[in-house]
Copies of this chain bind each other. A is one copy, B any other.
Amino acid sequence: MTTATLTIDLSAVAANWRALNAQTEVETAAVVKADAYGLGIGRVAPVLAAEGAREFFVAVAEEGVALRRVLGPGPRISVFSGHMAGDADLIRDTDLTPLVNSVDQLLLHVETLPGHPFGLQLDSGMHRLGMTPAEWSAVRDIALAQRPTLVMSHLACADTPDDPMNATQLQTFEELTQGVDAPRSLSATGGILLGDAYHYDLTRPGIGLYGGLPYLDAFPVVTLDLPVIQIREVAVGGCVGYAAAWTAERPSRVATVSAGYADGLIRAMGPKATVTCNGMKLPVIGRVSMDLITVDVTDLTEAPRDLQLIGSHQSVDTVAGFSDTIGYEVLTSLGARYDRIYLA
């Protein structure tokens, strides 16, 4: 087999949810947008439901439809993008809960689906999604009279605990929601770790479930093993890969490995990346190709059958560092060609 093997430890996802749930006294939801951060909503969501999650969050209504098929009736599925024009049938037929982001969306919702559940998203300073304070003050009483399922906001800097923006957003959210009876929510994974004041009635962990920072204590979820296609000797001065970007400075052995940027090995990682073999780090050399990378395996005594990019020796966040990005992007970039193995 030439496709790489992506192993996803569902028991680690479950353990991460339990651990994040244990960090608070309040309800713990699960964010499963972007196909459960690239890991497969069809396999991940049922495990979280079995652990006790009853509140799920997705980015767009179409994801909610897919999730409803997986979960069946019962669990609430809230949609961060809210109620978009044309979505009323989807929202009604699959019992989705849009998180209304603006006065326009609120009007659209109550006009097209009167009485259908909705939540409210407020902008506490990130200026990305949610009603501005001015909008909110104009419609607050009307909106609350409709008994929203949730009043929520999102932190811009929760991954940086010391950032003063966190306290500012907390204070703004507190002011915006004074006297609100509906359940309130402010925090995703990072916010959970900021402490009780940030927990309100419901937390919304995402990245922490999937083993990524800022949740340092997360159980790792993903292992990515890449098969070696062939190994060649390269003499001193020999160049490897596109644009002949790497030149051998010693007699070298180079492994050509089956995975490339079409599989989510972000092309920019090229010169800084390593893979591992039994814990030994080996440099990726030359450019990342669409379907292939090349690795200097000169220091190995035996020819490897596989090399590991993500696993116990290199975390998702370590790999993210190779291309100056974040673990979230590494996960959501994982490609469709992998042979996916789920550990129960």
Contact = CB atoms under 8 A, between A and B. Distances in A.
B84 A244 contact: no
A33 interface: yes
A332 B62 contact: no
Contacts of A290: 33-34, 37, 59, 328-329, 332
A336 B336 CA distance: 9
A189 interface: no
A292 interface: yes
B241 A2 contact: no
A240 interface: yes
Contact of A332 (B34, B163, B261): B261
B2 A62 contact: yes
A329 B267 contact: yes
Given A33-B290, A34-B290, A127-B232, A244 B87 contact: no
B267 A84 contact: no
Residue from A1, A102, A160 with most neighbouring chain B CB atoms (10 Å): A1
A157 B127 contact: no
A230 interface: yes
Nearest to A155: B242
Nearest to A229: B81
A326 interface: yes
Contact of A157 (B160, B229, B242, B258): B242
B101 A60 contact: no
Interface string A1-20: 11100000000000000000
A298 interface: no
A294 B230 contact: no
A126 to B, nearest CB: 7
Given A2-B84, A86-B1, A233-B132, A244 B33 contact: no
A291 interface: yes
Interface in A192-237: 227, 229-230, 232-234
Contacts of A238: 127
A333 B2 contact: no
A87 B1 contact: yes
Contacts of A123: 232
Contacts of A292: 59, 128-129
Contact of A267 (B127, B240, B326): B326
B59 A127 contact: no
Given A33-B262, A156-B239, A261-B332, 15 more contacts: A2-B61, A2-B79, A38-B262, A59-B258, A80-B291, A81-B229, A101-B230, A127-B254, A127-B294, A128-B241, A129-B292, A132-B233, A160-B243, A165-B244, A336-B336
**Considering the complex of A and B, which 10 residue pairs feature the smallest CB-CB distances, nearest first?**
A34-B262, A2-B60, A59-B291, A262-B332, A127-B240, A2-B81, A102-B230, A2-B84, A267-B329, A261-B329
